[in-house]
Amino acid sequence: MPVAGAIETSAGRSIAGGDLTTGRAAFIERAQTRGDLFVEQPYGLYSEANQETWRRLYRALAGKWERYAHPRFLDGVARLGLDPDRIPRLEDINRFLEPLSGFKARAVSGYVPAYLFFDCLRRREFPTTITVRDGDRLDYLPEPDIFHDLAGHVPMHTDPAFADVLVRFGEAARTAALRVRDGDCRSVESALRALARFFWFTIEFGLMRRPGGAGLCAYGSGLLSSAGEIAHSLESRRVQRAPFQLEWVVNQSFEIDSLQPLLFVVDGFRHLEGEVRRLERWLGEGRLDNVAPGEPAVSREDLRSFLDAGRQ
Ligand SMILES: [Fe+2]
């Protein structure tokens, strides 16, 4: 039976009306029903429970960032003035971020189709989730939330060299889309899988050599936004840490719902950018039209986004 103040969804489910908890936010449900992908951040809807979740996550991660994160990430946290006690307002983040790298965080209502996501990066916009994960499952993240996006991704965007790498991903996606004007679904699907794997093993779960020193550090947002994963990625003997190899990465399946057993290490930002350029070249030459099957699955929506972009 629906509770007072709840909203009945099209699927007949009732959702709590008052906050911005992932999977239960009426504001998001309404935006999705209207087909609005880009939205405002309705800051007043964050409940005290949402704010408390942010505080707990921040407390769990701050010490680990000091120990395991790339120094540029720590710089970024300081430059953005991330508040340990309050969910940030995107407009405040952008006031600091845009002058540093031209990037800005842009609120979205949910999943962004793959081509559109990469094309946003090309235009220096970062699609940003505004909901907060459920406080009962702090370290479980079935989909991005604002902590993953703002605390995990955005501090790295303050670095101009890293920001350029993200733009190159957008260019690579464009190259892939333009090549498939004839609507060859198989090669588009393969190119998309290659792009997604590369993004996963770098921007989401990448390790980097410590600048000017020994050892490794984390720059991938999936590591930086997970208290369980960040230490595991750098300390566990169960993790295989391999030097980045493009041929391997684009053919390597991954799983999203367990601690990552295999991670790839780049030497630095220039190395990473060079590899994204090589990815783009290979996409343009058709060398990634038959990468190994496996995860991630490519959705029809993602496929369609590339085919539509190629026709324009
Ligand atoms: Fe992410």
102 alpha carbon – ligand 1 mean position (Å): 19
Contact criterion met (CB below 8 Å) for 158 and 79 = yes
DSSP at 238: T
148 carries an active-site annotation? yes
Contact criterion met (CB below 8 Å) for 28 and 110 = yes
Confidence of residue 3 (pLDDT cuts 50, 70, 90): very low
What local confidence, expressed as pLDDT, does residue 181 receive? Answer: 61
Could you tell me which residues come within 8 angstroms of residue 302 by beta carbon, excluding any fewer than 6 positions away?
113, 114, 115, 192
pTM above 0.85, yes or no: yes
Active-site residue (options: 101, 109, 125, 153):
153
Tell me the pLDDT tens digit for each residue of 162-173. Answer: 999 999 999 999
225 alpha carbon – ligand 1 mean position (Å): 9
Contact criterion met (CB below 8 Å) for 219 and 70 = yes
Does residue 140 have a pLDDT over 80? no
131 alpha carbon – ligand 1 mean position (Å): 14
Does residue 10 have a pLDDT over 60? no
225 carries an active-site annotation? yes
Tokens 């369609």 label which residue? 304
Greater model confidence, 138 or 284: 284
How much is the average pLDDT of 21-38? 95
Residue 19 falls in which region: left (phi positive, over 0), alpha (psi -120 to 50) or beta: beta
Please report the sign of the dihedral spanned by the C-alpha atoms of residue 13, residue 11, residue 302, residue 36: negative
Confidence of residue 41 (pLDDT cuts 50, 70, 90): very high
What local confidence, expressed as pLDDT, does residue 131 receive? Answer: 97
Does residue 14 have a pLDDT over 50? no
Tokens 């300390």 label which residue? 235
Tell me the pLDDT tens digit for each residue of 181-239. Answer: 666 788 899 999 999 999 999 999 999 999 987 899 999 999 999 999 999 999 999 99
Confidence of residue 255 (pLDDT cuts 50, 70, 90): confident
Tokens 């504001």 label which residue? 27
Cα Rg of the chain, angstroms:
19
All domains of the chain, ordered by start, with CATH? Answer: 42-311 (1.10.800.10)
153 alpha carbon – ligand 1 mean position (Å): 7
Share of the chain above pLDDT 70, in %: 93
Active-site residue (options: 29, 70, 125, 148):
148
Could you tell me which residues come within 8 angstroms of residue 312 by beta carbon, excluding any fewer than 6 positions away?
none
149 alpha carbon – ligand 1 mean position (Å): 6
181 alpha carbon – ligand 1 mean position (Å): 29
What local confidence, expressed as pLDDT, does residue 182 receive? Answer: 62
185 alpha carbon – ligand 1 mean position (Å): 26
Share of the chain above pLDDT 90, in %: 82
Confidence of residue 17 (pLDDT cuts 50, 70, 90): low
Does residue 93 have a pLDDT over 50? yes
129 alpha carbon – ligand 1 mean position (Å): 10
Mean residue pLDDT across the chain: 91
Active-site residue (options: 101, 109, 190, 225):
225
Task: Report which secondary-structure segment, H or E, holds 107.
Answer: strand 104-108
Tell me the pLDDT tens digit for each residue of 272-289. Answer: 999 999 999 999 999 999
